Amino acid sequence: MPENDFEQQLDDLRTGKIDQFEITPENFQAFQRVYHAYPYRTQIEGKANIGGKVIYRLIKR
């Protein structure tokens, strides 16, 4: 998956267009580079599931 798609998913999550998205183990390393550079990453949390998939959601405050 292209890195700009990861950033778009993060933006969509932050703005409420989507409730969550899933990252597979195959995409995790590429996603992490985008996630760590994302300025609003402190507003988003990921929860790891069995099989290595991670579900990212907006933190409700």
Element housing 7 (H / E): helix 3-15
Q: What is the pLDDT of residue 2?
A: 66
Single-letter code of the amino acid located at 1: M
Q: Which residue has the tokens 């985008």?
A: 34
Element housing 33 (H / E): helix 28-37
Structural domain span for residue 21: 3-58
pTM of this structure = 0.89
Which among 2, 49, 57, 53 has a CA at the least distance from the CA of 28? 53
Mean pLDDT, residues 1-15 taken together: 88
What's the domain count of the chain? 1
pLDDT in tens, 12-55: 999 999 999 999 999 999 999 999 999 999 999 999 999 999 99
- Say how far apart CA 10 and CA 40 lie, in whole Å: 9
